Amino acid sequence: MSDGAGGIAIHYVAEPAATARLFAGATVLCDGAMGTMLYARGVFINRCYDELNLSQPDLVREVHAEYLQAGAEIVETNTFGANRFRLEHFGFQDKVREINVAGVKLARECVEQIREKQASEAFVAGSIGPLGVRLEPLGKVGLDEAQAAFAEQIRAMAEGGPGVGVDLLIVETMTSLTEARQAILAARSEAPSLPVIVMMTVDEEGNCLDGASAETAALKLTEWGADAVGCNCSAGPATVLSVIERMRVVTSLPLAAMPNAGIPRAVEGRTLYLTSPEYMASFTRKLVKAGASFVGGCCGTTPSYTRAMKSALRALDAMETGAQVMERGESASAAPAKNKVEPPPLGQRSKIGSMVAAGDFVTMVEIVPPKGIDCSKELNGAAELHKLGVDAINVPDSPRASARMSAQSLCVQIQQNIGIETILHYTCRDRNVLSIQSDLLGASSIGLKNVLCLTGDPPKLGNYPDATAVFDVDAIGLVNIVRNLNCGLDIGKNSIGESTGFTVAVAANPGVPDIDQEVRRFAYKVEAGAEYAITQPVFDLRLLEEFLKRIESFRIPVIAGIWPLTNLRNAEFMKNDLRVSMPEEIMARMAAATSPEASRAEGVKIAQEMLAEVRPMVQGVQVSAPFGKYAAAAQVLGLVEAGVA
């Protein structure tokens, strides 16, 4: 980038320190679609969306604010089509400067507000889209005219100087390399110190719409002076990933990837983007691993996508930290030597820790917290199970995103009043990283020493679907946080004085459709510091056997989940609603039961048979107690005879 300001006094001169971080190699999260959000707010597609900067500024401001609150570090101005040629279609060709200046002002206001409220840094990028006309030799518009149109827009965006104009330019959705070059030339002429990211859009084969290959595009854009190159819009995350992989081979510039939420589909007369935020988040990790430094979304994406992508990036950071530690030949719990304390050996942290470390077979029963404040039934159940010899009580954290007494509260009451050890389920759904640390420090201080680290069910699955989720990190990131606390370090790697002494458990689900992804995530959990695992309820033992084979090279002790079915409806719910793999033989056996009593007895019998089969394969079992049927859980474990209430 040039240090000179160019010829006109009002041109923006970028503060090097302000934008240097963006190109220093760390991953930067950009926002998502503006048009999608405006359309969802009732703005018809025949309107000039760029002109809304003047006529409905609050609407545009709201969209920017939502993306920033979701975690975006760069917001793009609402100026994608704010060039002379596109504005002419709506009669606004004389308002190029006015619309662009207003667009920058709205984004800048939101960035300053987020900086003041959350003390977080964000940047304003000037969005520059195609001119919407054919250039010579195929069209009537000359290259000099195209460059002039881009220059007019960029001048307005850069107006006002540092902290007023844009921090960088994003030339996006370019269909032609020739047109992209005119935008770069205009940027270098009008605002030579502004960083410029240039992204092409491609077809399903990964080639630019003017026929150029991804490799050619990357080489040419690099040669012409772009500061970062990449791909946006296009046919969705998979196509953009393939383009980023191809570009990485031929350029050393930072890469930018901002895909659509898939290919739009017509559904009941509406055009919808069907790719989910979770799917986009999974590709965010892949894009970063492929070399993308700037990631974000395009058409069809919303702040919910940005939030999911932010969580994916945090989890990826946590994984990479663990991987770097492993590469240095250190243990998974390694930490900076100056602050680190050595956690107690696993066998000394808790009863469960000692059993896992010694290779003893562990028995656990799950007790779900009540929906009110009276937990006498749960305490009585824990007392009976303790008397029968169960080793520990597992307490879920608002399972299925339902509103219940906190798992931590019930764990404390069980341990203090009954004397049996508990395993605290802890999810990332409801807490940011500060709250996570506070909760865990508190849990350790009151004697809770066993933590099962979970991502958590999204609120839409529960009885309050409008509740918001946090997901600052996922289960992998949470394991890293707990590992650091065990080493006497807070989330900023500052000393907390002593180890929290947790045993660190993680979940595993042998029955998911994408078993490859589950195995990869399990490997990351082990790298991050997981010490044992508890599976989801298993009915198809072949899946458990296959999973155990797949993790053999990085296996930790595994405790199998067992669920005694109560009736056929319960089995159907597990199969169809929770997507648990349920063999037809089990469905047939539950269907053959002729009474409620027979159904419960058959469910217990099936669970007992599964326990007998899995016992040689695992180091323990966790038995669920559906609908508070603690006696059924005890029967599965063989601690009481069938028929005992």
CATH number at residue 564: 3.20.20.220
As a whole number of angstroms, the distance between CA 257 and CA 279 comes to 15
Q: Which residue in the block uniquely carries the two structure tokens 């917290």?
A: 369
What are 476's two structure tokens?
A: 């992998």
Greatest C-alpha distance within the chain: 91
Instruction: Give, in order, the Cα–Cα distances in Å from 452 to each of 401, 408, 427, 467.
Output: 16, 12, 8, 23
> Does residue 341 belong to any structural domain of this protein?
no
Mean pLDDT value across the chain: 85
As a whole number of angstroms, the distance between CA 311 and CA 471 comes to 6
User: Are residue 289 and residue 210 in the same domain, yes or no?
Assistant: yes
* pLDDT tens for each residue of 356-409: 999 999 999 999 999 899 999 999 999 999 999 999 999 998 776 677 899 999
Instruction: Give, in order, the Cα–Cα distances in Å from 496 to each of 80, 93, 435, 489, 490.
Output: 48, 61, 16, 6, 6
What are 293's two structure tokens?
A: 């430094």
pLDDT class for 115, splitting at 50, 70, 90?
A: confident
* pLDDT tens for each residue of 501-530: 999 999 999 988 888 888 988 998 998 899
**Interior CA angle at 432 toward 286 and 506, to 5°?**
65
User: Are residue 225 and residue 162 in the same domain, yes or no?
Assistant: yes
On whether the CB atoms of residues 407 and 414 are closer than 8 A, the answer is no
Q: Which helix (H) or strand (E) holds 433?
A: helix 433-445
- Tell me which residue range forms the domain holding 260: 25-323
User: Are residue 276 and residue 409 in the same domain, yes or no?
Assistant: no
231 assigned binding-site residue: no
User: Nearest to residue 447, comparing CAs of 559, 350, 339?
Assistant: 350
As a whole number of angstroms, the distance between CA 84 and CA 95 comes to 8
Percentage above 90 pLDDT, the chain: 55
At 268 the pLDDT is 43
User: Are residue 216 and residue 365 in the same domain, yes or no?
Assistant: no
On whether the CB atoms of residues 506 and 450 are closer than 8 A, the answer is no
Instruction: Identify the bridge partners of residue 7 per DSSP, sorted by sequence position.
Output: none
Q: Which residue in the block uniquely carries the two structure tokens 């999204």?
A: 458
On whether the CB atoms of residues 58 and 52 are closer than 8 A, the answer is no
User: Are residue 42 and residue 188 in the same domain, yes or no?
Assistant: yes
pLDDT class for 93, splitting at 50, 70, 90?
A: very high
Q: Torsions phi, psi of 117, nearest 5?
A: -75, -40
User: Are residue 294 and residue 351 in the same domain, yes or no?
Assistant: no
User: Are residue 319 and residue 394 in the same domain, yes or no?
Assistant: no
How many domains does the chain fold into?
2
> Does residue 484 belong to any structural domain of this protein?
yes
299 assigned binding-site residue: yes
At 218 the pLDDT is 95
As a whole number of angstroms, the distance between CA 208 and CA 287 comes to 19
User: Are residue 217 and residue 253 in the same domain, yes or no?
Assistant: yes
User: Are residue 306 and residue 363 in the same domain, yes or no?
Assistant: no
* pLDDT tens for each residue of 553-588: 999 999 999 989 989 988 888 887 777 888 999 999
* pLDDT tens for each residue of 290-326: 889 999 988 888 898 898 888 888 777 655 544 444 4
At 397 the pLDDT is 87
On whether the CB atoms of residues 451 and 484 are closer than 8 A, the answer is no
